[in-house]
Amino acid sequence: MKPIVFPTLVLVLALCGASAAAAPQQVTLTVPTMDCATCPITIKAALLKVPGVSKAQVSYERRRAQVTFDDAKTSVAALTKATDDAGYPSFVSDAR
Amino acid sequence: MTSLAARPDHAPDDSPGRGSASALWLAGLAALLASSCCVLPLVFVLVGISGAWIGYLTRLEPYSLWLDGLAVSALCLAAWRIYRPRLPALAARGTPVPAACTAPDVAQPCATARPALRAWFWVIVVLTLLPIVVSLSAPLFY
């Protein structure tokens, strides 16, 4: 039994380390064409459909979407593509 | 009356439902265009349809209020043409009321248009009002 326990422990620790390394990233997208009542819901739904996205906060007043995502599973390009394909082109905004 | 006599096989102008089919088409088309900017992209996302072409639909947004108004007025016109009382109109014109319309066992004697048209009217009413209600209630779900 002993010879198996140690490699298993190492493996578990390595997996934990890997998931800890993929820290949740946050990006702010500007969506200039978000000017209808249902637009924020559409954009939020489109962003949450992307695998790896854990949170999407859409502000109708500021025409912005704040997305929290796992950068091991998805990328900023995939996020902007998701809103493009929902009908609302978005751009990375530097202002937080 | 002379024109009617010249074309006896034509229905009189005030026959119920006359012209309401085109009004219904107009209402349905206007409602579709009005919802295509805003509610349709949401439906597409929920159903799983995606594509950059949806971006073209959202350009109709500035016109959606006018298109909604057009749809509602076309519906009002269709409602008037389908549901207005027919028999008083016939009596006012002096046209004899058909015998089938005055039978005592008929519940609503020839008063309104045919059932299929009435059903379509209510389908278009729902399809017009649903997107309006959705976009009005959307801020509740932010």
Q: Note the pLDDT tens digit of each residue in B55-107.
A: 999 888 889 999 999 999 999 999 988 887 766 767 777 777 766 666 666 55
Using DSSP's 3-state secondary structure scheme, residue B48 falls into coil
Cα–Cα dist B135/B56, whole Å: 19
User: Which residue is it, tokens 């380390």?
Assistant: A17
Burial string for B43-80 (b: 16+ CB within 10 Å, else e) reads ebbeeeebeeebbebbebbeebeebbebbbebbebbbe
Smallest CA–CA distance from B131 into chain A, residue:
A38
Taking an 8 Å cut-off on Cβ atoms, the answer to whether A36 and B64 are in contact is yes
The pTM (predicted TM-score) of the whole model is 0.71
Look up residue B51 and give its two tokens. 């594509």
> Does ipTM come in above 0.90?
no
- Of A91, A78, A86, whose CA–CA distance to A40 is shortest? A86
- Asked if residue A78 has pLDDT above 70, the reply is yes
pLDDT-wise least confident of A73-82, B11-20, B37-46, B76-85: B11-20
Within 13 A of B75's CA, how many CA atoms are on the CB side?
21
Taking an 8 Å cut-off on Cβ atoms, the answer to whether B41 and A42 are in contact is yes
Taking an 8 Å cut-off on Cβ atoms, the answer to whether B46 and A45 are in contact is yes
At residue A20, the pLDDT reads 52
Closest-CA distance, A90 to chain B, in angstroms, reads: 11
Closest-CA distance, A49 to chain B, in angstroms, reads: 9
Closest-CA distance, A28 to chain B, in angstroms, reads: 17
At residue A74, the pLDDT reads 94
